Structure 1
Amino acid sequence: MLTNKILESSLLLFICFLRSGRADTAIVVEVSDDDESKDSVVVEDVPQYGYPTTPWLPYYFFSPMMQPQYSASGITSLSRNWGTVFVPFTSCTSPNKETGICEESGACIRLGGRASGSCANGRVCCINIVTNTCDETDRKVITVDNTYWQSPTTGITSFVSSCGITVKLDAKLPEQGKAVCQVRLNFVLFTIAQPDAESVCITDTFDVAGASNRVPTICGDNEGQHMYLNVPSSSTSPTDLQFSFNFGTNSNPVRAWNILISMIPCDSANLAPMDCLQYFTGRTGTVKSFNWRDVTGTATRQLANQDYSICFRTAPGFAKTLCVTPCTVTSTQKPFSLSLARSVQPQVGQRIDVSQFLSTNCNNDFLVIPGAYNTGNPPIETDMTFDRFCGERLNALPGKGVSTTVCTATATPFRLLYRTNSDETLTATIDTAGPNAVPIAGNRGFCLNFRNQ
């Protein structure tokens, strides 16, 4: 009899333990927030509330008793009496318009994040920030979705030659728990040295290593820009992405960045098409070459050795036409400037403020818009291809002194291809010489308003 009572008591204690330690049963839906598709994210300076802001150490390291438990759906949770504390890939937006992830407040603190706003089921919107010291002995590692990488609060001193960070992608990590196939970088803030007169990033550079798609070296001002980086599925091939700033000697002390690093699961509807460095999901918006900015001056702002695709998502039910128009500027900046057009008359040389004359004009720097035509589809001109655009006016017709709206309906998803060569004036056919081969202002790149209709 005593033995039976002991067994009953043990069974009761075991049932109580299971009830107190079971994980919450919840349907986790990947959130597709409008902010994720925007091409610039505004982050305000908000108080830290005393929470640490060093999320490079995964929070489960703080609690060795906590063991990862993998569900059948592939979503990882950490359980310990107080239920599910972490649900990967549920994005949220704080009241200050920062992008975070939904999780229990306790897990957010352990993660080194800051709670700002709320999510469903009593969770908080956790904002994760990594601030570099730019010390190679203290290179940070990011493993959490929607993490901001910020430049040192003290600025970049003349003794710092580089600053880097690693993003570790591995589906076995509890804070990921499912396969990741892409990473998106949102450049909330990005200011480093400008290229030289030959369009080369010779002083400062930003480089990406570990992605399977082509990622060009960039520099200058890139606030509001973004990149999509392709990687093998992290469930079969864990990947380390390396991001690095390299600094040369420069009298300009302004070097600052704030980059939102977002992981995109392999089963997400937000994946960009393969080999698209940039991907625009809205029906309207603005697409710019890296380092384009509406500023006064004639200095070269186009970057050398660019070679990448820009893609646009087509919404179901809409006519499949993409139209682009040069931006309206308030300064002396040119909204379209990709090598000068070479005249068909040899004695004239190259011409400023006009579109390309011949299909062979655009062999140094150019923008490919497949099957493009001017609004109204005018008659095709002799020896003109409706795909390569260069010169200083966007126009499908030769030698025109005005820009216009150019459309394409060739194929979807719509895709533009941007390519530049390695310099401005050193090649046999120079990019920026005016009439009689007189050097003038450097190329500026492009800024185009688009409508996907």
Structure 2
Amino acid sequence: MSLDVARLPGVLEACVGHVKNDLPKPKTPRQAKQFSMFQVVQFANIQCNGSASMTGTCYTEDECTSKNGVSIGTCANGFGVCCRMVMSCGETSSENITVFADTNVPTGMGECTASINPANTDVRQIRLDFERFQIAGPSLVSSEVTKILNGSPSFMGTPNAAVGQCNLDRFQVQGGSHGRPPIICGLNTGQHMLLDVDESSNIDLSFQFGSVATVRSFQIRVTQYEMNSPNLAPAGCTQYFTSASGTGVVQTYNFGNVHLADQSQVMCVRQIQNACRICWTVADDADFAVSGSVSFGIGGSTQVESCCGPNSKGSNKQGLDCLSLPSAENKEGTARLRSRFCGRNKGLTTGPAVSITICSKLTPFQITFRSDSFETIPSIVGTPLPEATAMDKGVKLIYFQDNMNCMN
């Protein structure tokens, strides 16, 4: 076989042309810019802030639409949208941030439950922020509804009222891996609640409506925290306050109306750098109104016998409404105080006249409000002061942190 040298340039030109046709065509400057932008820009699906102080999760616009979310703003420097996921009665979500809202609640008696599944296997805590929360409040029935002896109904027991019990509407959280938050009702806008979970936890947020005509308004932001989150609270906390200044305000659920029965509300505070102690006080003496076990003294005066424990006779479980602060000390750090506080009007005291500041170095920083199911109604002189007629509004406290006597 011989090679025709004269035809070689043409053959080579044809081969080169064929190769050029098989290569991708160069993109225009606009196409090249678009291609590189979509290849380079990536962002995490993290919490973002939208309009009207609302929060959501950062997604692409298509992802938000596919998840039936609503855009409330932009995120990721404009490449994503702040997507707000909203669910109502009978729905389920596994998003790290979603909102349980009152868009489909029964008008009469009934149930409204939404379910939350962990977004991934690293989720360890779920936080419920009550952006709006108003349902029927607790019972105000101060007349006798039963008699209690040793914590159980008995015709030989002490007269008991239903004050503070969520017998009409109620909200409860079911599921989790460590305890269960208390059942609440009434007005709790601005409050929050925590629940410890693991990867297998399925959480139900359940409203039970027992009243026919009442205000029902709720919007609950549900946030899931992973094990490495800086916002993760110590296990067992009902609430967690994370002010960067180390100061803030806490209050019992339905504060200002009637404090709720059957509560164990553990209010935890994140410790700031260089602080070894947390202190608690009231802005107003009337911000502490918790019943105690009180007996009539000489001349009609009253004195506190005990709180957070059965009365001296032990005949019924009363006097369990109190605030508990283990290892309590005075503001100066020079004296240990009792760890349980109860009573009305200046209840946070060491005596009957002067409100004080109580502190503790015990970590993690926390204070606990406990209440029982029983409100005593005296039938004869000499029995404890009536709790049911007082309508105690609960506790509201200011806290601050300091480094006094850190070496002690």
TM range (shorter): 0.7 to 0.9
Cross-structure match for 1:405: 357
2: CA distance, partners of 1:292 / 1:349: 28
Give the aligned partner of residue 143 of structure 2: none
2:217 is aligned with 1:256: yes
Answer yes or no: is 1:312 the counterpart of 2:262.
no
Contact 2:325 2:368 in 1 (8 A): yes
In structure 2, C-alpha distance between the alignment counterparts of 1:11 and 1:266, rounded to whole Å: 50
Residues 95-145 of structure 1, C-alpha deviations (whole Å, 9 max, x = no match): 32101111212222222222233222533342324253x4xxxx1111212
Q: Which amino acid aligns with 1:209?
A: Q
Shift of 1:366: 1.1
2:247 to 262, 284, 302: 284
* Separation in structure 1 between the aligned mates of residue 19 and residue 118 of structure 2, nearest angstrom: 47
Q: Which residue of 2 aligns with 1:81?
A: none
Question: Does residue 1:247 correspond to 2:209, yes or no?
Answer: yes
What is the rounded CA distance, in whole Å, between the counterparts of 2:22 and 2:338 in structure 1? 80
Distance 1:368 1:448 in 2: 13
- AA aligned opposite 1:95: S
**Distance change (3 Å), C-alpha of 1:115 and 1:378:** same
What count of residue pairs does the alignment treat as equivalent? Answer: 347
Is 1:375 the counterpart of 2:375? The answer is no
What whole-Å deviation, never above 9, does each CA across 1:244-278 have from its counterpart, x for those lacking one? 10011344x21110000011112212111011111
Which of these residues, 113, 116, 134, is aligned with residue 191 of structure 1? 134
Deviation of residue 190 (structure 1)?
0.4
Task: Choose which of 383, 386, 404 in structure 1 pairs with 2:338.
Answer: 386
Higher alpha-carbon deviation: 337-346 or 117-126: 337-346
CA RMSD of aligned residues (A): 3.6
Contact 2:107 2:212 in 1 (8 A): no
Contact 1:313 1:414 in 2 (8 A): yes
What is the letter of the counterpart of residue 323 of structure 1? Answer: C
> Contact conserved, 1:115 with 1:124, CA < 8 A, in 2?
no
Q: Which residue does 2:152 correspond to in 1?
A: none
Q: Which residue type is aligned with residue 128 of structure 2?
A: L
- The 1-side partners of 2:357 and 2:50 are apart by 38
The AA in structure 1 aligned to 2:216 is R
Q: 1:346 to 1:123 in 2, by over 3 A?
A: farther
2:72, 2:83 within 8 Å by CA — same for their partners in 1? yes
Whole-angstrom distance in 1 between the partners of 2:260 and 2:18: 78
Higher relative contact order (CA 8 A, sep 6+): 2
Q: Who is 2:294 aligned against?
A: 342
Contact 2:136 2:185 in 1 (8 A): yes
Q: Distance in 2 between matches of 1:328 and 1:7?
A: 86
CA–CA separation in structure 1 for the residues paired with 2:20 and 2:37: 21
**Residue number in structure 2 paired with 1:157:** 107
Q: What is the aligned partner in structure 2 of residue 168 from structure 1?
A: 117
The SS at the match of 1:96 is helix
Give the equivalent residue in structure 2 for 1:445.
394
Q: Compared with structure 1, are the counterparts of its residues 94 and 179 closer, same or farther at alpha carbon in structure 2 (3 Å cutoff)? A: same
User: Percent identity between the aligned chains?
Assistant: 30
The structural deviation recorded for 1:24 is 4.8
Shift of 1:7: 11
Judged with a 3 Å threshold, the aligned counterparts in structure 2 of structure 1 residues 302 and 438 are, in CA distance, closer, same or farther, namely closer
SS state of the match for residue 376, structure 2?
coil
- Partners in 1 of 2:321 and 2:110 — Cα distance? 31
The question of 1:98 aligning with 2:41 is answered no
Alignment of 1:33-432 (within 5 A): 87-88=44-45, 90-132=46-88, 134=89, 139-152=90-103, 156-158=106-108, 160-171=109-120, 179-197=122-140, 198-212=163-177, 213-232=179-198, 234=199, 237=200, 239-251=201-213, 253-282=214-243, 283-293=246-256, 301-317=258-274, 319-328=275-284, 334-340=286-292, 342-343=294-295, 345=297, 348=300, 350=302, 356=304, 358=306, 363-377=319-333, 386-392=338-344, 393-398=346-351, 400-409=352-361, 411-425=362-376
- Mapped to 1, the partners of 2:113 and 2:388 lie a distance apart of 38
1:387 maps to amino acid: S
Q: What is the distance in 2 between the residues matched to 1:157 and 1:417?
A: 36
Q: Using a 3 Å threshold, how does the CA distance of structure 1 residues 374 and 23 change in structure 2: closer, same or farther?
A: same
Measured after TM superposition, the shift of residue 228 of structure 1 is 1.2
Q: What SS class does the counterpart of residue 168 from structure 2 fall into?
A: coil
Question: Structure 2 length as normaliser, TM-score?
Answer: 0.74
AA at the equivalent of 1:157: T
CA–CA distance in structure 2, aligned partners of residues 403 and 448 of structure 1: 12
Read off the aligned partner of 2:186 and give its amino acid letter.
G
* More strand per residue: 2
Deviations 1:194-242 (A, max 9, x none): 111321100011011111232111111111111111111x2xx3x3210
In the aligned structure 1, how far is the partner of 2:378 from the partner of 2:370? 15
Cα displacement (A) at 1:394: 3.5
Unaligned runs of 5+ in 2: 1-11, 26-33, 141-162, 311-318, 403-408
Aligned to 1:108, the other structure's residue is in SS state helix
Contact 1:424–1:442 (CA under 8 A) maintained in structure 2:
no
Judged with a 3 Å threshold, the aligned counterparts in structure 2 of structure 1 residues 102 and 422 are, in CA distance, closer, same or farther, namely same
Does the Cα contact within 8 Å between 1:182 and 1:229 map onto a contact in 2? yes
The within-5 A match list for 1:15-30 is 24=39
Structure 1 residues 114, 249: CA separation in 2 closer, same or farther (over 3 Å shift)? closer
Structure number with bigger Rg: 2
Instruction: Give the SS at the match of 2:52.
Output: coil
1:279: how far off? 0.6
C-alpha distance 225-424 of structure 1, shift in aligned 2 (>3 A): same
